[in-house]
Structure 1
Amino acid sequence: MKQIILAEWLKLKYYRTFWVILILSVIIPIAGNYTVAEIFSSKDLKQAQFLLGGPFSFPDVWQTVACVSSFVSGLYGILLIVIVTNEYNFRTNRQNIIDGWERKDFVFAKLFWVMKLAVLSLVVVAIVGALLGMAYGSKSFTFEGFNFVFYYFLQVVVQLIIALLIAVFVSRPGLSIVIYFAYNMMIEQTLVTILKRSVGAIGGLLPLQAGDELLPFPGTKMLAQSMPGGTTTYDTYVYLIAMVVYITLGIWLVFRKVTRTDL
């Protein structure tokens, strides 16, 4: 496994596009959360703070930062698509097989990136949440509510598995990114809207929406449910199970594709 990880590192060590997207994936969530914190700290939004509580005070800051970061978590998926499709473009996947790798080693190498990027996202959100809570909050530090950071972590993993699936099945970088963007920005949201209108809360169990259901902005979920015709939702564990199922299914499909078709 060490050889696989080393080989993956050597492939990307001097790849400028990789570093640019990686840096943006870290900077944009930080900048986004800082901007939202600045807006909520202004005098013009005192009424909103009264209605929503203190979104940047502990413990709500964990949920706030996870929610805001979830809007740009797709950047990690783009990075993974670049990593995977480069293997097909430059035929390095075939060369690895010639050099003695098994096909499953190729999948393990990409799952390594899935976990590494997901852990990076978790660390970034945890640090940002802690710093903003201390800088903009009015309550003492606490890990209460930190579970929302783990919900965000799972959502990022789902995003990355979707990106991995698309990259492996399409294998062309431009088209893969377009399909990934289309699914994230339009296709799933359209399906969620249709399903919620026709069959109810089951629409919230689609891959990315399951994570969104667990990461509402503090206070907005209760406000939405208290309004006439407010939407119903499942218990937290249902969405967690759904995400784990999607992750497991996605990994199985990737293994099946890589081990049964020509690289």
Structure 2
Amino acid sequence: MIRLLQIEFIKLWNNRASKVLILSYFVLLTSIALVAAIKFDIGPIKFHLAEQGIFNFPYIWHFNTFITAFFKLFLAIVIVSMMANEYSNKTIKQNLIDGLSKKEFILSKFLTVLTFAAISTIFVFVVSLILGLAYSDYNEFSIIFSDLEFLLAFFIKLVGFFSFCLFLGILVKRSAFALGFLFLWQILEGIVRGLIRWKLLDGTGTDFVMGFFPLNSMFNLIKEPFTRLSAVQNVANQVGESFKLDYHVYFHEVLIVMVWTGIFIYGSYALLKKRDL
């Protein structure tokens, strides 16, 4: 397995565009720390974002995983480009000639996906831990390490999304078209949601059905964290509103994404096995 990973990372590191995108992605993951520096001091109005509780333990695990998940598009570009380059540079054919089986080829790509997801998760964990220790009002050990299921959800979400991108890269062969298909699929899921809500089910029923679609199931792993902030809830209470939302990570949601991951990886292998390279 280490040999397969070495092959993939040599290819990626020798590609200038991939190298820039990977480095940019991790710089962006780190940049969430800059949120702590946002201050407004205009006369009587004094506002420091870090003092609003976004870096409090255990809320920080929820907030940071939700926000940083949006940066995954950078690695999505790397993954679909990785597959496009295999076809355009004919390295896929050369790898197979050199003795790599099609199963090993797909395994090497999936190991790359797992590595990207694992490193991203560790990175977010370290950055969040540092920010929390610096700004959190709660530093008890039991509080610091509660709600870590959001990191697991973040990892599963990235693995599922990157596996989808890998499948599209093999299916379409060209990175621009693969990314276009990804955005098109997102729009399609939105249209299906609208049709189901309009013609068939209420909001709860629609959410249940859409929870089985790939991109929606990945998004559902980490719910939006903003209404969980005490400052937002206090404002809502003052105007007579209240938020009664469920922010937990559920096993069945994780399982749905894992099933989709298996489908995408197997689909990638089936496509490769079927094609005459």
TM-score, normalised to structure 1's length? Answer: 0.84
Say which SS state the counterpart of residue 71 (structure 2) adopts. coil
Match of 1:188 in 2: 189
| Residue identity in the other structure for 2:218 | G
Question: Is contact 2:81–2:174 with CA below 8 Å preserved after alignment?
Answer: no
For 2:269 and 2:37, the matched residues in 1 are separated by 45
1:156 aligns with 2:158: yes
For 1:2 and 1:237, the matched residues in 2 are separated by 31
Kindly provide the CA deviation profile for residues 32-79 of structure 1, in whole angstroms up to 9, marking residues without a partner as x: x23444448984478x94xxxx23100111111001111222222111
Question: Is contact 1:201–1:231 with CA below 8 Å preserved after alignment?
Answer: no
Match for residue 211 of structure 1 among 218, 231, 250: 218
Match of 2:27 in 1: 27
The Cα of 1:92 is off from its aligned counterpart by 0.4
Match of 1:103 in 2: 102
Gap change, CA 1:191 and 1:35, over 3 Å in 2: farther
Which structure 2 residues correspond to residues 215-226 of structure 1 after superposition, within 5 A?
215-218=222-225, 220=227
Say which SS state the counterpart of residue 127 (structure 2) adopts. helix
For 2:191 and 2:145, the matched residues in 1 are separated by 36
Kindly provide the CA deviation profile for residues 99-127 of structure 1, in whole angstroms up to 9, marking residues without a partner as x: 11111121011111111111111111111
| Residue identity in the other structure for 1:55 | I
Of the two, which has the highest radius of gyration?
2
Match of 1:261 in 2: 275
May I ask how many residue pairs the two structures share in their alignment? 255
| 5+ residue gaps, structure 2 | none
Which structure 2 residues correspond to residues 131-150 of structure 1 after superposition, within 5 A?
131-140=130-139, 142-150=144-152
| Residue identity in the other structure for 2:104 | D
TM-score, normalised to structure 2's length? Answer: 0.80
Instruction: Give the % identical residues.
Output: 24
Kindly provide the CA deviation profile for residues 183-205 of structure 1, in whole angstroms up to 9, marking residues without a partner as x: 35x34344444445543222233
Question: Is contact 2:79–2:162 with CA below 8 Å preserved after alignment?
Answer: yes
Kindly provide the CA deviation profile for residues 104-163 of structure 1, in whole angstroms up to 9, marking residues without a partner as x: 121011111111111111111111211111222211051111110110111111110110
For 2:213 and 2:165, the matched residues in 1 are separated by 15
The Cα of 1:20 is off from its aligned counterpart by 0.3
Say which SS state the counterpart of residue 71 (structure 1) adopts. helix
